[in-house]
Chains A and B, each alone.
Chain A
Amino acid sequence: MAAWTDISGIKQKIADSSAEEVTASYIETIGKSKINGFTTMWDEAINVAREIDSEGHEGPLAGVPIAIKENISTKGLSTTCSSKILQGYVPPYDAHVIERLREAGAVILGKTNMDEFAMGTSTESSYYGPTLNPWDMDRVPGGSSGGSAAVVAAGEVPVSLGSDTGGSVRCPAAYCGVVGLKPTYGCISRYGLISYANSLEQIGPLATNVADIATIMDVVAGYDSRDSTSINRENTYSDALKDDVNGLKIGVPEEYFGEGIDEKVEKAVWDAISKFEDMGATYEKVSMPHTKYALASYYIIAMSEASSNLARFDGTRYGYRAEGENWHVMASRTRAQGFGEEVKRRILLGTYALSAGYHDKYYLKALKVRTLVKQDFDRALDNVDVLMAPTMPAPAFKIGEKIDDPLSLYLADVNTVPINLAGVPSISVPCGFSGDMPVGLQIIGKHFDENAIIKAAYSFEQNTDHHTRRPPEVA
């Protein structure tokens, strides 16, 4: 059936046939997939769909198939962070977002591929091998939520969940030509999300269109006492689905169009801003002078937090265990054999940055620079409603092109990581092409002002047709 369908289209199909038939047709499509987007299929999916049929399709997502990133805990369904060290791990509990999705009647089809422990921009570091970009199978889908973006782009599922620590939802959304939202820090409970860098990351939805993003947010966002950083704040995201940007003030940060930007990406983003002007918005250039230091600050903080968060993977309670004559040797070998190269590099660098003699030089310095980056956002967003910039400075690169040079991979994240340091929300929407590869426009908002960016993104979608172009082989 490979087709780009929105949630309302799916609901119509369910009403005309059944949730069981819709689920079965998606499972059949996934069975023929060439992109390696799914890692594990859930063998209960069809039974859940049958149950939903017998209960009369109640709930806002009744019968709607969804795919879940490998780092979000699903009770009874393998959750491995695409790592050897978690092979065989089956969570005994559901993440908060999964509880919400199940209550809403969503049908979880399976888990999607990612960079190991979400550390990457290409989904090449997965223990399950790389996911391919449906637009060009020689290219990466982006990362780390590459599987979640690629399966939506390929029509293998209408919506998915990813997680975004430094761009991991927005990057693959841009590279695969779909919509992806990184909500405000504290907006969605991280309970059950396997931590990489806990002060930076948020779970976020991916879909073919903005309305579906709002629909998923209405289900998964909200307070949860099990995440101590969860913020108690009510919001209806679908209220923002209005075609109206009249009087919207847009800020365009010059630093996001820096060295190395692809000309066609730059043009597509400026064309999008002109389109917003035609639609009644105004724009002004703004300066965010600490942007160039955001990347180093981000990586130091992320690696430091990772070195602590990933200490739990020691072979004692779950996953892979190597042999060793005492616990220390067992744990050191388990981790040497169970983690991939990039994960080990980041843990080593994080441990180094936190160690005696280097803590102030690296970690504390990075936290202070984080304050300056955040102040750039506070100042810029004081005068405008939203900021707009390219999500990624260039389109998806070739598989194998950057994987052996960590620094060149890190540099690809230059426009996405500042947003995580500041904790503000950001949505990536398709805004054109560079050659045959999609380009993403990033719309950034104030803390908890998701509705402003959803409204802007929705309006753009109503007045353009970039999002209607499909990858080859997808009807």
Chain B
Amino acid sequence: MITKEEVEHVGWLARIEIDEKESDAYAEKLNSVLDYFGQLDEVDTEGVEPTYHVADIVNVFRKDEVTESMSQEDVLANTENKQEGNFKSPRIM
């Protein structure tokens, strides 16, 4: 069971603002899904390795060479919040 307080905590971790009025409704809907997920407890996975992906590859490397990259102008084209070639955001601390 996920509690109202946990919903608010997870909301903070995920950077999604949830006000107190919403957290009850979220808790209810999330709990019905978590109940369903609980059925995996029935499966015996003793000694089973996890599968993170199915591609038959391990590490993919490239040569450490300088190649052409996107122009600063293109990178900044989708924001009005920029200054001296950088993204501008509100203070972090």
**Contact partner, A345, options B6, B30, B40, B53, Cβ 8 Å:** B30
Q: Is the interface of B mostly helix, strand, loop or mixed?
A: loop
**Interchain CB contact under 8 A, A345 and B14:** no
Give 1 or 0 for each of B15-51: 1 = CB within 8 Å of chain A CB: 1111000000010011011101101111101001111
Find the B residue at minimum CB distance from A331.
Answer: B15
State the Cβ distance, B33 to closest chain A Cβ, in Å: 6
Are A369 and B45 neighbours in the complex by a CB distance under 8 Å? yes
Say if the beta carbon of A26 comes within 8 Å of chain B. Answer: no
Question: Across the interface, do A349 and B13 meet the contact criterion of CB distance under 8 Å?
Answer: no
Q: Is the CB of A348 within 8 A of B26?
A: yes
- B37 lies within 8 A of A347 (CB): no
CB-CB contacts below 8 Å: B43-93 with A: 43, 45, 48-57, 60, 62, 70, 74-75, 77-79, 81, 87, 89-93
Neighbouring B residues of A147 by C-beta, 8 Å? none
Interface size bracket, A side: 35 or more
**A279 in the interface, Cβ–Cβ < 8 Å?**
no
Nearest neighbor of B37 in chain A, beta-carbon distance? A296
A92-B26 contact given A290-B43, A352-B6, A372-B43, CB 8 Å threshold: no
Q: Which residue of B lies closest to A366 (CB)?
A: B40
**Residues of B in contact, count (CB < 8 Å):** 51
CB within 8 Å of B: which of A345-376? 345, 347-349, 351-353, 355, 362, 364-372, 374
Flag whether A317 is at the interface (Cβ < 8 A).
yes
Identify A364's interface contact among B39, B50, B75, B77, CB under 8 A.
B50
Whether A175 is near chain B, meaning CB under 8 Å from some CB there, is no
Q: Which of A31-72 contact B (CB under 8 A)?
A: none
On whether the beta carbons of A185 and B79 are closer than 8 Å, the reply is no
Question: Which among B33, B56, B78 is the interface contact of A317 at CB below 8 angstroms?
Answer: B78
Complex contacts, A367 vs chain B, CB 8 Å: 50-52
B47 to chain A, nearest CB (A): 9
Contact status B18-A336, CB under 8 Å: yes
Check: A459 CB closer than 8 A to any chain B CB. no
Q: A89-B78, A351-B10 are in contact. Are A372 and B48 (CB under 8 A)?
A: yes
Which chain A residues have a beta carbon within 8 Å of chain B's beta carbons?
A: 88-90, 92-93, 185-186, 199, 225, 228-229, 231, 290, 293, 296-297, 299-300, 307, 311, 314, 316-319, 321, 324-333, 335-336, 339, 344-345, 347-349, 351-353, 355, 362, 364-372, 374, 406-407, 410, 421-423, 447
Task: Show 13 A/B contacts (Cβ-Cβ < 8 Å), sorted by A.
Answer: A92-B78, A93-B70, A317-B87, A329-B90, A330-B90, A332-B15, A332-B17, A336-B17, A348-B10, A352-B6, A364-B50, A368-B48, A410-B36
